[in-house]
Amino acid sequence: MKKYFAEFIGTMVLTLFGCGSAAIAGSTLGTLGIAFAFGLSIVAMAYVIGNVSGCHINPAVSLGVFLNKGMSGKDFVCYLISQFLGAILGIAILMLFINQSGLGGIEATGLGQNGFDTASAVGLSMGGAIVVEIVLTFVFVMTILGVTSSKKFGSIAGVVIGLTLAFVHIMGIPLTGTSVNPARSLAPAIFMGGLALEQVWVFIVAPLIGAILAALVFKCFKKEAEAAE
């Protein structure tokens, strides 16, 4: 149960600090600040729970690992449950912070939810949002599979993964708010309701597709590397 609890805590931290930075201080931090809030959350958690659960804290990452036979089916399901529950707790805490402040409530701040069309800063279409999330998640999950494939990268894996999450956010925030993580997207949509909840399916399905593609491509790379040896 320790690894499931670790995923629960890790996803809560990622969602609280990432989405919280966007909701509470987004106008001050800007795209770079929000991107690094998500990235640094990963770095922090990687060195806290990495040795316990692998610090997936993202259903798309767990799917990629599962497809590469890095975890059992039971662990995969339990990881997903832990991640979604952790994200929900993170957003619940964020709502508490917002409601106890003079920010005007979540109607004024939002909860760092994702969106397209009128909910996108640049008016990105639904089709565009799907492609963006597939590509960004593909890059993110591929990086994770690569950097965790060898023990020699162990000491720097957390930093590499955190920086990769930050750089995909830098481009993705103006487009969709950047999901690449179904748990991080579903939780704020549940509490916001309305348009955010109507659109959230894109930010669940597209990252999972990106993760599947990343797992398939990484398998090909791995086979080529093994054959060369």
Q: What is the pTM of this model?
A: 0.94
pLDDT in tens, 192-227: 999 999 999 999 999 999 999 999 999 888 766 555
pLDDT of 181 reads: 98
Exposure string of 173-212, with b = 16+ CB inside 10 Å and e = fewer, is bebbbbbbbbbbbbbbbbbbeeebeebbebbbebbbbbbb
Q: Structural domain tally of the chain?
A: 1
Task: Name 44's Cβ contacts closer than 8 Å, sequence gap at least 6.
Answer: 13
Task: Yes or no: say if 10 and 57 are a contact pair by the CB < 8 Å rule.
Answer: yes
Question: Which of the pair, 149 or 136, is modelled with greater confidence?
Answer: 136
pLDDT band at 170 (very low <50, low <70, confident <90, very high): very high
Closest CA to 187 of 9, 2, 12: 12
pLDDT in tens, 107-139: 999 999 999 999 999 999 999 999 999 999 999
Provide the residue range defining the domain that includes 108: 2-228
Please give the Cα distance from 58 to 28 (Å, whole number).
27
Q: Is the pLDDT of residue 228 over 60?
A: no
pLDDT of 226 reads: 59
pLDDT band at 229 (very low <50, low <70, confident <90, very high): low
DSSP per-residue letters across 55-96: ---SHHHHHHHHHTT-S-HHHHHHHHHHHHHHHHHHHHHHHH
Which residue, chain included where needed, has tokens 């969709």?
176
> What mean pLDDT, rounded, does the chain reach?
94
Share of the chain above pLDDT 70, in %: 97
pLDDT band at 159 (very low <50, low <70, confident <90, very high): very high
pLDDT in tens, 53-73: 999 999 999 999 999 989 999
pLDDT of 222 reads: 76
Task: Yes or no: say if 114 and 182 are a contact pair by the CB < 8 Å rule.
Answer: no
Closest CA to 65 of 1, 158, 75: 75
Closest CA to 87 of 133, 142, 41, 46: 41
What is the domain-level CATH number for residue 184?
A: 1.20.1080.10
pLDDT band at 27 (very low <50, low <70, confident <90, very high): confident
